[in-house]
Structure 1
Amino acid sequence: MSVRTRFAPSPTGYLHIGGARTALFNWLYARKHGGRFILRIEDTDRERSTRESVNAILEGMTWMGLDYDEGPHFQTERFPRYREVIQRLLDEGKAYRCYCTKEELEAMRQAQMARKEKPRYDGRCRHRSEPRPGVEPVIRFRNPDEGAVIIDDLVRGRVVFDNKELDDLVIARSDGTPTYNLTVVVDDLDMGLTHVLRGDDHLNNTPRQINIMRALGAEPPQYAHVPMILGEDGSRLSKRHGAVSVLEYREQGYLPEALLNYLVRLGWAHGDQEIFTVDEMTELFDIKDINKSASTFNPDKLLWLNHQYLMRAEPQHVANHLRWHLGKLGIDPAEAGPDPVAVVVAQRERCKTLREMAANSAFFYQDFEQYEEKAAKKNFKPSAVAPLQKLHEGFQSLADWEQEGLHRVVVETSETLGLKLGKVAQPLRVALAGTAISPPIDVTLYLLGREKTLNRIAAAIEYIEKNIANP
């Protein structure tokens, strides 16, 4: 049997951390077993579903590298199929029309609560054969009265639901549109799913869905209900904990592989290993290793992991993502400036995100408008003019713009003027970068290039003479 899994988001918002983890687990399981991973967009909530949300889901999946083999399938395009199944259930007596009004259902609910009973539909329309004038009926599934639904959950183990605790759920609204539990069943069967990995907030839907499947003469797939992700305070994960759009993590400068690595460890483990390549995740992932308890989202751990990836990943790969962040700053690295691959090598030890790397590297590509105030105040003293002039002369006379020669000019300037290396290198760094922080000075000089270096040293000398030496 070929494994078939799916990710079925509702396009009523962005693709968030919980959904991304669900997609990843399904993708990994399908890839590990040589199966098929299906993307289904559950867009039957027409009021809340938007094209923007669909696009955000698709873009997020693409950015994370979670390619799908089939889809995206849209439920709104399958309404004829759902109507066909609903009619079949009606014809076979496995569903019926319910003419209860909202007021009657609320009165029923209040009476049950007053008797300290669990509120549930009492089946009063089960045997009704005549329509009710002026009332458009909903259609309810006739749930079995006896027995139990036994779920051999691949994460939670055996879970038993008594059918007497399950009421007759609505499978079609009064306007004829199908409901979630009906569409999911039809899709999962038609798409031949073998495994459904989803959040445990869906667990209470599972016995209802299984009963509909069996009413249609089908056996259900295997289920794995994954515990929720919690915030650090133990409450359900929300925006204040960092549960933002997956694409926001791209904006913040995370590598997709770092996010995937973090997500796979939210509820799954392989010994004490923390860092996995995507190939390792695929090889090692197993549903039986998913934790039964909820996981806690830790932004600091994600940031640490991202830094590890920036330092370990192939510079060319990191540079491909860095270009996007440089573009957000209005920089086209192909027009002028150093190769982003070289920038990655120079900056990755000191930058934890790609956004930070892009911001700290912008001076290689763009002239800055002003010096950082604290850095200029500390390093642009009148005494800095002489070493800057000497450096300008030394760099100008270099035949080859290579790191060894650039380093030699800085050292010789320091020795000739009898100054500590920092008294020469730090004013030079501020002149070149506008701040007191940059890669090693010879690397900074090399990446910046001859023309920008000479122009910025000259500008710094002019700044000191105008604003500091002669205030």
Structure 2
Amino acid sequence: MTVTVRFAPSPTGNIHIGNARTALFNWLFAARHKGRFIQRFDDTDQARSKQEYANAILYDLHWLGIYPDRTEYQSRRFDRYDAAVERLKAAGLLYPCYETQEELELRRKVRLSRKLPPVYGREALALTSEETAALEAEGRRPHWRFLLPNFPAGEPENPERTEIAWADIVRGDETVDLASVSDPVLVREDGTYLYTLPSVVDDIDMGVTHVIRGDDHVTNTGVQIALFRALGAEPPTFGHHNLLTTATGEGLSKRTGALSVGSLRDQGIEPMAVASLAVLTGTSEAIAAVPTMSELAERFDPAAASKSAAKFDPADLVALNHTLLKDMPFAEARDRLGVLGISGDKAEPFWLAVRGNVDSVQDAATWWCILRDGPAETPEFGDEDRDYVRTAFDLLPEEPWDRSTWKQWTEAVKAETGRKGKPLFLPLRLALTGREAGPELADLLPLLDREGTLARRP
């Protein structure tokens, strides 16, 4: 058996880091088992689904390092769903219902007042042909519900406790009582499909072996297992991971665009910073900046996810980013640095000098400007420090310069002025960069060269 997973968002907005968590759980699971990853777009809601969102989702996945083996669109598979509907109707497992939303809500309240579970009471099964004709004469069109197998033979009006159990690869043994949920609506009044039927039909047709998704689907899984069996298929293995939320417990939404993958990319966050946080948060693994997807796959264990929400602080992304950048080789950063105008013979030694002092690749542009043009603002010195810096510049060694030049220079300055420690180094750093902290001056000085350094003499 080839392990086959799928990531199936609706293309109704940009995916966020929480969606990325689900995609990555599936991708890494497939990678560990040398399996296949299907990208499926659940775009049956044609009014809200847009190709531009599907394209953006594919772009985001590629940026993260996820490359689907196959891409499918549910909107191109309606014939398969139509056939499944007819099969369920013929088996007596899909029945028409005519209640309005207001009527359903009233019945729900009545059941709650009687301390009964607020589930659909299957009143539509008791309709006579005359009553059905009268409702249709009013202009009502039916929605269609799947009859759950939770009753004694021949007595659908008497649901009883019926457990659906599965071994969840994330949460362990799980059980759902089908008597505690309503018969799900599979087809709306206008003939369009809700999520459940197309998802199950696709999983059957596409040979999906493992469904890994958020734990908000746990109850749905009991219903879907029943539907798999009604369609004559063996259910796949399920896994339900905890959902990613902000530190305050706030959920994420495609519609609001909060923490979208695209916005994080625009902020200069590295893909492996997103992947590391998305996968490791809320697990028994320590959150760390994992440099490659293959290394993350080695650390990935779906069973390591806890059952509580996976809370994270977006500021952690910056820290992870910083860690990844300080070890990033020039070859990996070259193209993006080139876009920023950082190129030529100095580009590589420059990157190696500044990479430990930036939170994003874009930040390197600031240091490049300082190197090329001098401090953004002329440093202000008191009389004593100004005289000290001028004396120090008079002691600059002759070229050629290398990394040892900084030590050679400062030892000469120390011997001449008697200064040491911060009073020696800080005024020189301010004169050269305009900043009190930054890359090692031993690395920057050869890039400035003697002429460029003397140009900064106050």
- Superposition TM-score, scaled by structure 1 size: 0.81
Task: Give 2:322's match in structure 1, choosing from 307, 312, 334.
Answer: 307
**In the TM superposition, what is the alpha-carbon distance from 1:29 to its structure 2 partner?**
0.9
> Residues 95 and 356 of structure 1: is their aligned pair in 2 closer, same or farther, counting only changes over 3 Å?
same
> SS state of the match for residue 436, structure 2?
coil
Alignment-mate amino acid for residue 352 of structure 2: V
Match of 2:297 in 1: 282
Match of 2:68 in 1: 68
Alignment-mate amino acid for residue 7 of structure 1: F
Query: C-alpha distance in 2, partners of 1:297/1:376?
Result: 42
Match of 2:440 in 1: 440
Q: Is contact 2:177-2:222 (8 Å) kept?
A: no
**In the TM superposition, what is the alpha-carbon distance from 1:243 to its structure 2 partner?**
5.8
Match of 2:228 in 1: 213
Q: What are the Cα deviations for residues 98-130 of structure 1, in whole angstroms up to 9, with x where unaligned?
A: 222334323323332333333332222235555
Q: Is contact 2:336-2:361 (8 Å) kept?
A: no
**In the TM superposition, what is the alpha-carbon distance from 1:202 to its structure 2 partner?**
0.8
Alignment-mate amino acid for residue 333 of structure 1: I
- The answer to whether 1:198 aligns with 2:205 is no
In the TM superposition, 1:340-419 aligns within 5 A as 341-364=348-371, 367=373, 370-371=376-377, 375-377=379-381, 382-383=386-387, 386-387=390-391, 390=394, 398=399, 400-405=400-405, 408=408, 411-412=411-412, 415=415
Match of 1:55 in 2: 55
% identical aligned pairs: 36
Q: What are the Cα deviations for residues 48-73 of structure 1, in whole angstroms up to 9, with x where unaligned?
A: 334443333222212211222111x2
> SS state of the match for residue 196, structure 1?
strand
Alignment-mate amino acid for residue 144 of structure 2: I
Match of 2:144 in 1: 139
> SS state of the match for residue 96, structure 1?
strand
Query: C-alpha distance in 1, partners of 2:296/2:388?
Result: 54
Query: C-alpha distance in 1, partners of 2:30/2:83?
Result: 30
> SS state of the match for residue 273, structure 2?
helix
> Residues 189 and 386 of structure 1: is their aligned pair in 2 closer, same or farther, counting only changes over 3 Å?
same
Match of 2:118 in 1: 119
Query: C-alpha distance in 1, partners of 2:88/2:281?
Result: 40
Task: Give 2:336's match in structure 1, choosing from 321, 324, 345.
Answer: 324
Query: C-alpha distance in 2, partners of 1:449/1:149?
Result: 74
> Residues 443 and 122 of structure 1: is their aligned pair in 2 closer, same or farther, counting only changes over 3 Å?
same
- The answer to whether 1:110 aligns with 2:109 is yes
> Residues 421 and 231 of structure 1: is their aligned pair in 2 closer, same or farther, counting only changes over 3 Å?
closer
Q: What are the Cα deviations for residues 147-196 of structure 1, in whole angstroms up to 9, with x where unaligned?
A: 33222222223322233223222111122111111111111111111111
Match of 1:171 in 2: 186
Q: Is contact 2:17-2:274 (8 Å) kept?
A: no
Match of 1:35 in 2: 35
Aligned length: 438
> Residues 419 and 145 of structure 1: is their aligned pair in 2 closer, same or farther, counting only changes over 3 Å?
closer
Query: C-alpha distance in 2, partners of 1:265/1:75?
Result: 31
Q: Is contact 2:280-2:287 (8 Å) kept?
A: no
Q: Is contact 2:163-2:177 (8 Å) kept?
A: yes
Query: C-alpha distance in 2, partners of 1:193/1:175?
Result: 29
Q: What are the Cα deviations for residues 441-467 of structure 1, in whole angstroms up to 9, with x where unaligned?
A: 23212224566x15xx43x45xx5xxx
Match of 2:342 in 1: 333
Q: Is contact 1:438-1:444 (8 Å) kept?
A: no
Higher relative contact order (CA 8 A, sep 6+): 2
Q: Is contact 2:244-2:278 (8 Å) kept?
A: no
Query: C-alpha distance in 2, partners of 1:86/1:113?
Result: 32
Query: C-alpha distance in 1, partners of 2:297/2:76?
Result: 33
Match of 1:84 in 2: 83
Stretch of structure 1 that moved more, 207-216 or 103-112 = 103-112
Alignment-mate amino acid for residue 21 of structure 2: R
Q: Is contact 1:11-1:41 (8 Å) kept?
A: yes
> Residues 371 and 112 of structure 1: is their aligned pair in 2 closer, same or farther, counting only changes over 3 Å?
same
**In the TM superposition, what is the alpha-carbon distance from 1:378 to its structure 2 partner?**
5.8
Query: C-alpha distance in 2, partners of 1:448/1:203?
Result: 61
Query: C-alpha distance in 1, partners of 2:385/2:83?
Result: 83
In the TM superposition, 1:245-260 aligns within 5 A as 245-260=260-275
Gapped regions of structure 2 (runs ≥ 5) = 152-161
Match of 1:263 in 2: 278
**In the TM superposition, what is the alpha-carbon distance from 1:143 to its structure 2 partner?**
2.0
Alignment-mate amino acid for residue 139 of structure 1: W
Match of 2:157 in 1: none
> Residues 449 and 92 of structure 1: is their aligned pair in 2 closer, same or farther, counting only changes over 3 Å?
farther
> Residues 230 and 188 of structure 1: is their aligned pair in 2 closer, same or farther, counting only changes over 3 Å?
same
- Superposition TM-score, scaled by structure 2 size: 0.83
**In the TM superposition, what is the alpha-carbon distance from 1:217 to its structure 2 partner?**
0.5
Query: C-alpha distance in 1, partners of 2:75/2:369?
Result: 46
